[in-house]
Chains A and B, each alone.
Chain A
Amino acid sequence: MPLAPDLAAEARRQLTICNACRYCEGYCATFQVLELRPRLSDGDISVVGNVCHDCRGCYQACMFAPPHEFAINIPLLLSQVRTETYATYAWPSALATLFGRAATGSAIAAAVGLIVMAGISLATGGGARFFAADAAPGSFYRIVPYFGMVIPAMLLSLYALLSFGMSAAAFSRDARIRLTELFAPRALVSIARDALTLHWMSGGGYGCYYPEKEKTSETRRAFHVLLVAGFISAFLSTTVAAIYQELLGVLPPYGMTSLPVILGMAGGAAMIVGATGLLALKVGAAGELISRTMLRMDVAFLVVFDLVSITGMALLFLRDTPLMGTLLLAHFAALAALYATIPYGKFAHVVYRLLTLLETRRDVVAPPVAAARRQGASGPA
């Protein structure tokens, strides 16, 4: 599937200059992957774009950055390539337009989610108990019954998996990424490690040019690691809760020192700190280095993450009060905004990142400079 012709032409123009220069090779794998794909098919451009973690080191180092007539702005270009990649490979393609309307999409999803869940609540008699303080086991299910929670969540999750599966298959075909390599244990370990540590977000090994324009910092990477860790912790909390309920027959709410609650609280707190921190960095960072669509997508995604976490935490602390019903529905509305937009918002970056991390495995490209030094690899000295 082709990228937009104007963007592909501009990408070829800029990346051909980069390939003739190669001064930025030490920053990250983007330029190394570029050297391995000099023909720059649309698929190659997409791979290069999705390898970039937006550390902005190359922009700071570029003697051809605007207002130079070559006008090289790789962070902006590759953020455009990424948004274009998400839209190009969206499944079904008719919904690709949602990528440009992240805030609207999230708001509609939240509203629909709220209406559906309120409807289920009313239809199952939850309305009568809505403002009653209730701390007994199963209290949540007296507002919205279990099936009313599980079935929408399952449907949306399965849909997201299907959509991403279709996108990943089409992207890998155009990008000449061999998916079978994914199943090698070493590749999986490498990808998991690079994804969880956000290895390539450290630029040359010293961090990103966030929040300051002229100074590297690991702040952004730290916030992002927190966000991912929080998400995983919250997911584990849900999984453990399901085990408690289905296997042990213990109904929620669970005690403040129970495993699901501890995992949930830790995850929620980490997500609030991570998402809020990233939001502040995004808003404060240089706007000329990122596609407007990407920025809007980022902001919408982070706000939704914050809303999910904040409503979840509030629900936890106020679950014994008459506000529980209201907070439960608010939490579901936020979750709807998150789940329903998964295939058509910033969450999509996870798919393309994981696939392109296969292209930047340690045995294919050299690690960032500082990391290489820490590992004792030979450098100049």
Chain B
Amino acid sequence: MSAPAGADVVVVGGGNAALCAALTARESGASVILLERSSEWDRGGNSKHTRNIRCARDGTSAATRYGAEEFLGDLRSVTGDALDSELARYLIAQSREVGEWMEAQGVRWQPALRGTLQLDRTNRFFLGGGKALVNTYYARAAATGVTVSYEQRVERFVFDGERVTSVVASLPDGTRREIPCRAVVVASGGFEANIEWLRRYWGSAVDNYRIRGTPHNDGNVLQTLLEAGAETRGTERGFHAIAVDARAPRFDGGIVTRVDSIPFGIVVNSQGERFYDEGEEIWPKRYATWGGLIARQPDQLACSIFDSKAWGGFIPCMHTPYRADTVKELAEMLHLPAAPVVATVERFNAAAHDHGTYDMAQRDGRSTRDLPLPKSNWALTLDTPPFYAYPLRPGITFTYLGVGIDGYGHVRRGNGCVFPNLFAAGEVMSGNILLKGYLAGIGMTIGTVFGRLAGREAARAARA
């Protein structure tokens, strides 16, 4: 079966936003070609690492209701007030409805995972996580007649004036393919996997970064849009990062390399010094903090040190922590300067006298006393061998830089106009709404809502 030469709508990308756009455009009657950069086995971009979507919902009680105002408040609390509030309100209003559409595509739900119960009210979990979700959408695409092509690297768009007339993609064998179309949806993600692009801002430090998701998000389509005159949103230096185990692979280590032990002990840098209050924030806000903190430390390296009292209190990561009977031996195993590490632990222990009740379920106020850099909660002494440590690196989740869109999903041009048949959805436009920080599941909300919008409007533009 040969692929059709052209289509009403070409969707660039193969993750959640792209699939939602392709399915919706198809629903609206358009013929659709979806161009996925990866091969079939690792399709789905970073969506395959997700597991839930944040949705507003009506509820009969405060325990089940997640109202639009509360959702917006949560969003503003992490990202500030610079967001496009019209798009944010549209996002939140639509988030109430998307679950039904997802179910109609075959998506199945599961209760919140253990350890994430506090998200039960605000987030909906897909059965099996993001890859299962993506599989469902691909199966639906096949059933409804969306043409999916893998290993298609989109290189440029051909414009006639301000209208896109075709998409040029390169194939693994080095040949190029030009696909005539009447509208385009770009849902190709950010540039977090493009080490050289990151190096422009961060220099050699990037060599110590881990990229948590797909290696395919090199941002070449984003670059193409910016060169064509698309307006930018979000800061180019912005990225979201968490602490991951230093032994994590360069790319695609996903959730299982995440280190969860930070508030259970102390964190030292490669000089053996503490550098931030480990007890500042309870889950999940601390995740967003520590990636950036470690990225700014010498050698982009840190170590989470805890003792055997903490073992079992958190979800262990895939790597076994280093373990030794004394702090000194532990430091030596990690190639840290032993004397400063031992001194740091001793100073911390002297300040962490047992007062107040230790309670990991909340900010227990059990703070160190008289330390220039306090640990403001959960300050238990490190005194019960064996001692453990995870070596930490920054794990980049996504970048914030993207293109501006209007209320129909059109990509904005710098001159105040829009491209009439060029749309954007997902991470590539998330900078309209999320400029910094993160809310669990918001990426999937943005991808689903704006993917649906872009698909619908692209189909409409193709008919015009």
Q: For the complex, is B238 an interface residue (Cβ under 8 Å from A)?
A: no
B252 contacts A68, CB within 8 Å?
Answer: yes
Q: How far is the CB of A8 from chain B (nearest CB, A)?
A: 15
Q: How far is the CB of A57 from chain B (nearest CB, A)?
A: 6
Contact of B318 (CB < 8 Å), options: A20, A57, A68: A20
> What chain B residues lie within 8 Å of A381 (beta carbons)?
99, 109, 124
Q: Contacts A60-B128, A369-B109 hold; do A21 and B254 have CB atoms under 8 A apart? A: yes
Pick from B129-137, B287-295, B360-368 the stretch touching chain A.
B129-137
Question: In the bound complex, how far is the Cα of B317 from the Cα of A38, in angstroms?
Answer: 12
Q: For the complex, is B200 an interface residue (Cβ under 8 Å from A)?
A: no
Q: For the complex, is B85 an interface residue (Cβ under 8 Å from A)?
A: no
Question: In the bound complex, how far is the Cα of B115 from the Cα of A16, in angstroms?
Answer: 17
Interface flags, A156-168, vs B, CB<8A=1, else 0: 0000000000000
Which residues from 193 to 241 on chain A have a C-beta closer than 8 Å to any C-beta of chain B? 204, 206, 214-215
Contact of B131 (CB < 8 Å), options: A19, A63, A204, A206: A63
Q: Contacts A26-B127, A38-B316, A69-B249 hold; do A20 and B109 have CB atoms under 8 A apart? A: no
Q: For the complex, is B315 an interface residue (Cβ under 8 Å from A)?
A: yes
Q: For the complex, is A372 an interface residue (Cβ under 8 Å from B)?
A: yes
B128 contacts A16, CB within 8 Å?
Answer: no
> What chain B residues lie within 8 Å of A63 (beta carbons)?
44, 48-49, 129-131, 252, 254
> What chain B residues lie within 8 Å of A60 (beta carbons)?
128, 131-132, 135
> What chain A residues lie within 8 Å of B127 (beta carbons)?
26-27, 61, 204, 369
Residue with the greatest number of chain A CB neighbours at <10 A, chosen from B124, B132, B254: B132
Interface flags, A36-68, vs B, CB<8A=1, else 0: 001000000000000000000110111111011
Contact of A23 (CB < 8 Å), options: B41, B129, B139, B317: B129
Q: Contacts A20-B316, A63-B49 hold; do A379 and B109 have CB atoms under 8 A apart? A: yes
B48 contacts A16, CB within 8 Å?
Answer: no
A26 contacts B318, CB within 8 Å?
Answer: no
> What chain B residues lie within 8 Å of A67 (beta carbons)?
41
Question: In the bound complex, how far is the Cα of B80 from the Cα of A335, in angstroms?
Answer: 75
> What chain B residues lie within 8 Å of A273 (beta carbons)?
none
A20 contacts B132, CB within 8 Å?
Answer: no
> What chain B residues lie within 8 Å of A61 (beta carbons)?
127-129, 131-132, 135
> What chain B residues lie within 8 Å of A206 (beta carbons)?
108
> What chain A residues lie within 8 Å of B129 (beta carbons)?
23-24, 61, 63
Question: In the bound complex, how far is the Cα of B110 from the Cα of A67, in angstroms?
Answer: 27
B125 contacts A20, CB within 8 Å?
Answer: no
Q: For the complex, is B113 an interface residue (Cβ under 8 Å from A)?
A: yes
B42 contacts A68, CB within 8 Å?
Answer: yes
> What chain A residues lie within 8 Å of B132 (beta carbons)?
57, 60-61
> What chain A residues lie within 8 Å of B114 (beta carbons)?
22, 25, 35
Question: In the bound complex, how far is the Cα of B40 from the Cα of A67, in angstroms?
Answer: 11
Q: For the complex, is B111 an interface residue (Cβ under 8 Å from A)?
A: yes
Closest to A27 in B: B128
A369 contacts B254, CB within 8 Å?
Answer: no
> What chain A residues lie within 8 Å of B112 (beta carbons)?
380
Q: For the complex, is B178 an interface residue (Cβ under 8 Å from A)?
A: no
Contact of A20 (CB < 8 Å), options: B48, B108, B317: B317
Question: In the bound complex, how far is the Cα of B140 from the Cα of A215, in angstroms?
Answer: 11
Q: For the complex, is B196 an interface residue (Cβ under 8 Å from A)?
A: no
Q: Contacts A25-B113, A381-B109 hold; do A20 and B315 have CB atoms under 8 A apart? A: yes
- How many chain B residues touch A (Cβ–Cβ < 8 Å)? 39
Q: Contacts A19-B316, A22-B115, A63-B131 hold; do A380 and B124 have CB atoms under 8 A apart? A: yes
Closest to B116 in A: A22
Question: In the bound complex, how far is the Cα of B110 from the Cα of A60, in angstroms?
Answer: 16
A16 contacts B316, CB within 8 Å?
Answer: yes
Q: For the complex, is A257 an interface residue (Cβ under 8 Å from B)?
A: no
B135 contacts A22, CB within 8 Å?
Answer: no
Question: In the bound complex, how far is the Cα of B114 from the Cα of A63, in angstroms?
Answer: 20
Q: For the complex, is A366 an interface residue (Cβ under 8 Å from B)?
A: yes
> What chain B residues lie within 8 Å of A366 (beta carbons)?
111
A204 contacts B135, CB within 8 Å?
Answer: no
Q: For the complex, is B256 an interface residue (Cβ under 8 Å from A)?
A: yes
Q: For the complex, is A378 an interface residue (Cβ under 8 Å from B)?
A: yes
Q: For the complex, is A17 an interface residue (Cβ under 8 Å from B)?
A: yes
Q: For the complex, is B375 an interface residue (Cβ under 8 Å from A)?
A: no
Question: In the bound complex, how far is the Cα of B111 from the Cα of A206, in angstroms?
Answer: 15
Question: In the bound complex, how far is the Cα of B131 from the Cα of A58, in angstroms?
Answer: 10
B110 contacts A26, CB within 8 Å?
Answer: yes
Contact of A214 (CB < 8 Å), options: B111, B135, B254: B135
A26 contacts B139, CB within 8 Å?
Answer: no
> What chain B residues lie within 8 Å of A57 (beta carbons)?
128, 132
Question: In the bound complex, how far is the Cα of B255 from the Cα of A23, in angstroms?
Answer: 10
Contact of B315 (CB < 8 Å), options: A22, A27, A69, A369: A22
Q: Contacts A20-B318, A369-B127 hold; do A379 and B254 have CB atoms under 8 A apart? A: no
Q: For the complex, is B120 an interface residue (Cβ under 8 Å from A)?
A: yes
Q: How far is the CB of A149 from chain B (nearest CB, A)?
A: 51
Question: In the bound complex, how far is the Cα of B43 from the Cα of A67, in angstroms?
Answer: 12
> What chain A residues lie within 8 Å of B316 (beta carbons)?
16, 19-20, 38
Closest to B55 in A: A380
Closest to B131 in A: A63
> What chain A residues lie within 8 Å of B109 (beta carbons)?
369, 379-381
A204 contacts B110, CB within 8 Å?
Answer: yes
Q: Contacts A19-B315, A63-B48 hold; do A369 and B256 have CB atoms under 8 A apart? A: no
Q: Contacts A23-B255, A26-B127, A68-B252 hold; do A369 and B318 have CB atoms under 8 A apart? A: no
Q: Contacts A23-B255, A61-B132, A369-B127 hold; do A17 and B110 have CB atoms under 8 A apart? A: no
A380 contacts B318, CB within 8 Å?
Answer: no
Q: For the complex, is B51 an interface residue (Cβ under 8 Å from A)?
A: yes
Q: How far is the CB of A24 from chain B (nearest CB, A)?
A: 6
Residues of B within 8 A of A (CB): 41-42, 44, 48-49, 51, 99, 108-115, 120, 123-125, 127-132, 135, 139, 249, 252, 254-258, 315-318, 320
A-B CB proximity, top 9 nearest: A26-B110, A61-B128, A23-B129, A61-B132, A20-B256, A63-B48, A17-B318, A63-B131, A20-B318
- Can you list 10 A-B pairs with a CB-CB distance of less than 8 A? A20-B318, A26-B125, A60-B131, A61-B128, A204-B110, A369-B111, A369-B127, A380-B124, A380-B125, A381-B99
Q: Other CB < 8 Å A-B pairs besides A17-B256, A26-B111, 18 of them?
A: A16-B318, A19-B316, A20-B316, A23-B129, A23-B255, A24-B129, A26-B125, A26-B128, A35-B114, A61-B131, A61-B132, A64-B256, A214-B135, A215-B139, A366-B111, A370-B108, A380-B124, A381-B124
Residues of A within 8 A of B (CB): 16-17, 19-27, 35, 38, 57-58, 60-65, 67-70, 204, 206, 214-215, 366, 369-370, 372, 378-381
